[in-house]
Structure 1
Amino acid sequence: MDAKELIARRVAQEIRPGMLVNLGIGLPSMVANFVPAHSGVFFQAENGVIGLGARPPEGMQDPHLTDAGGGFVSAVPGAASIDSAMSFGIIRGGHLDMTVLGGLQVDEAGHLANWKVPGRMVPGMGGAMDLVTGAARVVVAMQHAAKGESKIVPVCSLPLTSQRRVSLIVTDLAVIEPGPDGLLLRERAPGVGLDAIVAATSARLLVPGSVPEMCLG
């Protein structure tokens, strides 16, 4: 499997039956493909859909049924369409069990930067700031490095999305848990050694005596 599928499969294991989960645009939207439809999980997108399913087969797309990034999605039985005010009321009111977001950087304090690169135009802040602040758990799904540069850094150089510490980071190399003492390495990707993870990480990692491989099911 490629790096994005590996990340999405591992993030899907963090989701429990009955959860209400927000999926960000891009890589996080792939997570829905690896959660069983009968598990009672409802995926939410801030554009006003609760009950997102996997991407529909080619030719079966509905132009009125998309995620927040405009990607085509399906709907599970019991899905609902709501307006933006209610959607953000759910997010800001603390009713989400989890949000899964992409990331540009995460630092040793567990701070996420994912909404703006200085000098580049962005259409707006989107819902990331509300999601990181309001969801019970915040899982960052991103590749470990980009263009040879680590995305897990001592201190974020990009504008922060929130001052809140994220709950978990899942990359193509590792699962890392931010905590009060720093970034704890919890799992290795299949076939990836500790030295490779440390070398690809600019931030200081807390490495326990035993680090198991991810079990992707």
Structure 2
Amino acid sequence: MSLSKREMAQVVARDIAPGSFVNLGIGQPTMVADHLAPDSGVVLHTENGMLGMGPGATGDDVDPDLTNAGKLPVTELPGAAYFDQADSFAMMRGGHLDVCVLGAFQVSAAGDLANWHTGAPDAIPAVGGAMDLAVGAKQVLVMMTLFAKDGTPKLVSECTYPLTGLRCVDRVYTDLAVFDLTADGVRVRETFGIGREELAARLAVRVAE
């Protein structure tokens, strides 16, 4: 059975190295914060100016002045720090983040990322800090469904949507499989509810043995 969004977030959280400084992109990636082990030592950065962000806030824990970059209420962990957006982007651009987790419309086999615009005339572009994260983070992870609503794969040989960054994605987490993007090609780390042969048959990219 394919993974739910929450289960995908659990898999991503599992693979983040203890003690990492991590930025979670808007959308599905924000769910990763809810699945990090309390003793992991992972420090979450949010581009609107916070270091030491905790899981999402609910009930009496909701503070309207305490949100992530997607405007969702969050908690703070002991030692959390606040700063202006210029300093936040300096952290992103300066190579100070170990990992970023981003959503995507498409990822190419070479690691190209397209996640800010589909190119459709009525689509609303959403650049945010994705371009800065794509080139500034030491490791770029993508979290997305493997297939679009029309059934076409989002892991492609070449992106057809406007690019966010070139050769920047290291690993792709999807509802059906996790892929490493290497110099030798696309490699499957693990699958969920689908065989490797069926998976390869449904993709338009060559999957390395």
TM range (shorter): over 0.9
> How far is 1:62 from its partner?
0.7
Q: 1:2 to 1:169 in 2, by over 3 A?
A: closer
Deviates more, 1:5-14 or 1:86-95: 5-14
2:124 aligns with 122
Q: Distance in 2 between matches of 1:73 and 1:187?
A: 31
Equivalent residue for 1:86? 87
Partner of 1:63: 64
Equivalent residues in 2 for 1:125-204 (5 A)? 125-147=127-149, 148-189=151-192, 191-204=193-206
TM-score by length of 2: 0.93
Whole-angstrom CA distance in 2 between matches of 1:200 and 1:50: 40
Q: Secondary structure at the match of 1:120?
A: coil
The percent of aligned pairs where both chains have the same amino acid is: 45
The 3-state SS of whatever aligns with 1:100 is strand
Q: Which runs of 5+ in 2 are unaligned?
A: none
The whole-number CA distance in structure 2 between the counterparts of 1:98 and 1:104 is 19
Q: TM-score, normalised by structure 1?
A: 0.89
8 Å Cα contact 1:102-1:140 kept in structure 2: yes
Alignment-mate amino acid for residue 103 of structure 1: A
Q: Which runs of 4+ in 1 moved over 6 A?
A: none
Q: Which amino acid aligns with 2:9?
A: A
Deviation at 1:146, TM superposition (A): 1.4
Structure 2 CA distance for partners of 1:2 and 1:72, relative to 1, 3 Å: farther
| Structure 1 gap ranges (5+) | 209-217
**In structure 1, how many angstroms separate the alpha carbons of the residues matched to 2:169 and 2:87?**
24
**Contact 2:116/2:125 (8 A) holds in 1:** no
Between the aligned partners of 1:199 and 1:64, the Cα distance in structure 2 is: 48
**Are the counterparts in 2 of residues 133 and 164 from structure 1 also a CA contact under 8 Å?**
no
Number of residue-to-residue matches in the alignment: 206
- Whole-angstrom CA distance in 2 between matches of 1:174 and 1:124: 26
